[in-house]
Amino acid sequence: MASLQSSFSNLTNKIQNPQQFFPTWNSTKTRNLNFSNKISFPKQSIVVKCSTIPSLYPEIEETDQEHLSCDDTRPVNEIWRELQGCNDWEGLLDPMNSHLRNEILRYGELAQACYDSFDFDPHSKYCGTCKYQGEHFFERLGMADKGYTLTRYLYATSNINLPNFFQKSRLSSIWSQHANWMGYVAVATDEEEIRRLGRRDIVVAWRGTVTYLEWIHDLKDILHPAHFRNDPSIKIESGFFDLYTTKENTCRYCAFSAREQVLAEIRRIIHRYRGENLSITITGHSLGAALALLSAYDIAEVELNVVDDGEMSTKIPITVYSFSGPRVGNLKFKERCDELGIKVLRVTNVHDKVPTVPGIITNEKFLYQKYIDAISFPWSYAHVGVELALDHTHSPFLKNTNDMRCAHNLEAHLHLVDGYHGKDRRFCLATKRDIALVNKSCDFLKSDYGVPPYWWQDEHKGMVRCSDGRWMLPERPRVEALPPDTAHHFEQVIKYAKSKLHLT
């Protein structure tokens, strides 16, 4: 809690006038990110109806009544708490419940959106940013039908403990010397989708790394006290902790830490929709999965999900859909997450090495871990939640490869989810999800299917042809980083924590 208080005090001392960081922000528009309406999109790609696809993908045409037997005819709005893990997904994973499969795919695609919209190009001065404006985010990604409205982008400052994670431009004139775009917060706003879900869902999606795995070697395996509550025995891997809590007061994008940004925005949304049936769902892949679990724990620990309604209080359920995530904290951290009621579904590929770190030797599988933790052993880690372990060798579409990036790829995980029906059941695509998506950022599909590897990119790499015939990379509209009410909402989080939790 000391870090919670000091972070706000330092900020208010540094920033007497919030407008120095937000000079053009309209403070009356705090529902969603405020962007300029002056934007022109490149001409949309032509959609071609491919009548020859079935002959190329013979396995997709197959049907199997045995695999269809697990279709759940109940409406989602009647069983949404089960799907969010209130019973730890008991009876839903083997055989795979059809509604749960769809939910895993849906939240996985919301995490994938972080990759599809991120500028990885080191030759671009916008490297490290989101390529799209917030108000057009889902539209540009072909996800307008998801029923969500993006309310805030999340940023983090460059971290000395994870130098290989941050994407930096090779140019001298760039958008920020310190920040990287890390994800977003969104809320369900489509009334039909809200009725289908049975509640208004708040989503936090954290970006990981789609191809670069060098950050794994940066993990020092050193545990750092969380300090989100007065219990120093709850510890988190130091690199994850720093990425989540570090800020740079001279940068308009990360004058608030990622932690402060997400807590302030969750608090704002909860109060805006006070009295409604709400859920908080946090998703991420790879390092983004670590941030998803860390932020879920933080939200629950400061009781941001507890809403007081006079005589009684309501607890908003928190669920994490984790894809290929590493271990985050020690055994005490795992036990505290369980006590707080955080539900975590970890989707993994048994051939992926990332979920095995940190804590390769001393982890939740080690018989004497409790005794190791009792003596404050600094390299003891434990996974949180329920694991859905998949195996990419079961898919007839994927080739044998030793490329670690393929086994770790998020789109490959979603492909495996689509084909999984339970242990010892044959792989069969249930939703007929396009297998070409697997090769967006890797080379994993068998060559028989004619899908080129690494095919996902902007047309002409974002270059456009001017009226005079010359080609150029257009300037992007400036994105306002942080709304001016961030300090206010984060201050309310602090006040609540101090008054209700008796913290200093």
Would you name the residues annotated as active-site residues?
286, 352, 408
- Helix, strand, coil fractions of the chain, as percent rounded to 5: 35, 15, 50
By C-alpha distance, which of 15, 481, 437, 3 is closest to 229? 3
The pair of three-digit structure tokens given for residue 243, joined into one six-digit string: 């990425």
Strand 235-237 to strand 278-285: parallel, antiparallel, or no bridges (unpaired)?
unpaired
The pair of three-digit structure tokens given for residue 460, joined into one six-digit string: 């002409």
The pair of three-digit structure tokens given for residue 68, joined into one six-digit string: 């269809």
DSSP, collapsed to helix, strand or coil, labels residue 12 as: helix
Dihedral of CA atoms 20, 24, 26, 31 in degrees, nearest 10, equals -90
Q: Which helix (H) or strand (E) holds 307?
A: strand 306-309
The pair of three-digit structure tokens given for residue 321, joined into one six-digit string: 């859909």
Q: Distance between CA atoms of 439 and 446, rounded to whole angstroms?
A: 10
By C-alpha distance, which of 278, 86, 100 is closest to 199? 278
CA distances from 452 to 61, 337, 443, 446 (A): 22, 42, 8, 10
Determine if the peptide bond prior to 75 is cis (ω within 30°).
no
By C-alpha distance, which of 166, 147, 142 is closest to 156? 166
DSSP, collapsed to helix, strand or coil, labels residue 185 as: strand
By C-alpha distance, which of 392, 382, 405, 381 is closest to 446? 392
